[in-house]
Amino acid sequence: MLGVTLGCIGAVLWSRAERVSRLLSAALFAAGVLTLAGLLIPVAMAWAGYCFALVLILSIVRFWPYSIESLRVGIEYAYLMRFQVLSGLTIHR
């Protein structure tokens, strides 16, 4: 379900995005496709992890001028996602 969702978000973002967001949407789509492919080909899951990292970096660059409120929300989301990120890194190794 995650792979399908990421692929759809990437496709929708591509259709209404500017240049910086096009790279982000391509990375989202690639992460979704590689996540689905990783179910059959384990090596593809490692590449999906790299795409997830790229999406995170591109998102930070894209939305950088944070206000205090959005920074607080970002910290909260990072706190809530810590187990998913750690388990993904564990599976990747």
Tell me the pLDDT tens digit for each residue of 58-72: 887 777 776 778 778
Q: Which amino acid is at 90?
A: T
Confidence band (pLDDT; 50, 70, 90) for 19? low
**18-50 as b/e, with b when 16 or more CB fall inside 10 Å?**
eeebeebbbbbbbbbbbbbbbeeeeebbebbbe
